[in-house]
Amino acid sequence: MDAALAKPQVRGFYDKPSGSIQYVVADPRTRRCAIIDPVLDFDEKSGATATRSADALLDFVRENRLEVEWVLDTHPHADHFSAAYYLKQKTGAPAAIGQAIVDVQRLWKAIYNWPDFPADGSQWDRLFADGAVFSVGGVPAKVMFSPGHTLASITYVIGDAAFVHDTLFMPDSGTARTDFPGGSAERLWRSIQDILTLPDETRVFVGHDYQAGGGREPLWESTVAQQKATNIHIAACRTEADFVALRQARDRTLPMPRLILHALQVNMNGGRLPEPEANGRRYLKFPLDGL
């Protein structure tokens, strides 16, 4: 199937606690699908984990008689746990992420003081290089390396749909922050410029929507043309220097995500929760003053 003609079916599932969107992307002809950026529920006040969000994806897959071919993450998330490992176990589908995850692992194993942590990406079945190609059913897919928000961020272009994670948000919300360890406003600008070279009609699916300050219902789909014309950060910046100044000024006003220290130790391990200790309980580790 020609990539220019391939139009996968896309269903977004909004996770209100994190403002993130999970996706099921399906080839309507073969009924094969990929799950992108699934959420494992976590309540930091009680320490409780649950699989309600991931099970809703599985219910949708079952109700629509789909077969899961891939479980994909765009990057190691800082605001929610990934359900990739849970869904890999449930479906048997391979889990994948960008190959620069090893750079994130090396960085964060030092922050967590985990000298024995295997920072080799072996927690996933496939590590995608920039330009890697694969398919979802008969729909051709490719990977674009899109760092800036994190060292390892990638964009999945599946047919006419680009899943741009935390690079671009909806046009009224601008772009993603770059002040996490390994982040870079300069690299994010260049990643966004690469995304905007896709055909104007390309559908753009974002990784988060914060409802432009809470004034509207959640949204997650736009187009490359709409992003070029109306994204409040892109339209306001003619040069990389303009963007870097705007992005860094904005980042200085933002608190760290409330789950960043909870989530990274899970997500850099492929969505695996810590192993139970002798008493059968699992424990998270916090580096005080680490950020």
Query: Each residue of 189-233: pLDDT tens digit?
Result: 999 999 999 999 999 999 999 887 677 899 999 999 999 999 999
* Distance, CA of 216 to CA of 237 (rounded, Å): 25
Contacts for 251 with CB less than 8 Å, ≥ 6 apart = 177, 178, 179, 185
182: nearest Cα among 97, 106, 251, 81? 106
Token pair belonging to 167: 């690079």
Residue 38 · residue 87 · CB < 8 Å = yes
How far apart CA 62 and CA 179 sit, in angstroms, is 39
Please tell me the pTM assigned to this model. 0.95
d(CA 115, CA 249) in angstroms, rounded, equals: 35
CA distance 23 to 31: 15
pLDDT single digits (tens) 105-147:
999 999 999 999 999 999 999 999 999 999 999 999 999 999 9
Residues 234-291: pLDDT tens digits? Answer: 999 999 999 999 999 999 999 989 999 999 999 999 999 999 999 999 999 999 998 8
State the pLDDT at residue 290: 82
Is residue 250 within 8 Å of residue 65, measured between CB atoms?
no
Going along 16-138, which residue ranges are E strands? 20-26, 32-36, 39-43, 48-50, 67-72, 81-82, 95-98, 126-128, 133-136
Domains of the chain plus CATH, in order, are: 9-255 (3.60.15.10)
Count CB neighbours of 100 within 10 A.
Answer: 22
